[in-house]
Amino acid sequence: MKAIVIDRPGEFALRTVADPRPGPREVIVRVDHCGVCGTDLHVVEGNFASTRYPLVPGHELAGEIVAVGPEVSAWKVGDRVVADPSFQCGLCRQCRLGQDNLCDHFGGTGLTLDGGCAEFVRVAQDKAFRVPDGMPAAWATLAEPLACALRGLDRLPRHAGSSYLVYGAGTMGLLLAQLAARGGASRVDVVDVHERRRADAKRFAADAAVASADELDRGAWDVVIDATGVPAAIADGLGRVVRGGTFLQFGVAPQDAAVTVSPARLAADEITILGSMGIRGTFGRALDLLARGDVIAADEMVTHQFPLDAYADALAAVRSGAGIKVQVTPSGVPAGKDGVA
The pLDDT of residue 103 is: 95
The pLDDT of residue 112 is: 92
The pLDDT of residue 236 is: 97
Alpha carbon 250 to chain centroid, angstroms = 11
**Could you give the domains of the chain?**
2-147+279-339 (3.90.180.10), 156-275 (3.40.50.720)
The pLDDT of residue 319 is: 92
The pLDDT of residue 334 is: 55
Query: Cα–Cα distance between 95 and 93 in angstroms, integer?
Result: 6
Query: Cα–Cα distance between 189 and 273 in angstroms, integer?
Result: 19
The pLDDT of residue 49 is: 78
pLDDT tens digit at each of 341 positions of the chain: 999 999 999 999 999 999 999 999 999 999 999 999 999 999 999 888 788 899 999 999 999 999 999 999 999 999 999 999 999 999 999 999 999 999 999 889 999 999 999 999 999 999 999 999 989 989 999 999 999 999 999 999 989 999 999 999 999 999 999 999 999 999 999 999 999 999 999 999 999 999 999 999 998 999 999 999 999 999 999 999 999 999 999 998 888 899 999 999 999 999 999 999 999 999 999 999 999 988 899 999 999 999 999 999 999 999 998 889 999 999 886 554 444 43
The pLDDT of residue 48 is: 82
The pLDDT of residue 339 is: 40
Query: Cα–Cα distance between 295 and 302 in angstroms, integer?
Result: 15
Query: Cα–Cα distance between 261 and 263 in angstroms, integer?
Result: 6
The vertex-41 CA angle with 253 and 301, nearest 5°, equals 90
Backbone angles phi, psi at 216, to 5 degrees: -95, 145
The pLDDT of residue 130 is: 97
Compute the Cα dihedral for 226, 286, 100, 31 and give only its sign: negative
Q: How many residues does the chain have?
A: 341
Cβ neighbours of residue 63 closer than 8 Å, sequence gap 6 or more: 29, 30, 31, 32, 33, 80, 81, 116, 121, 137, 331
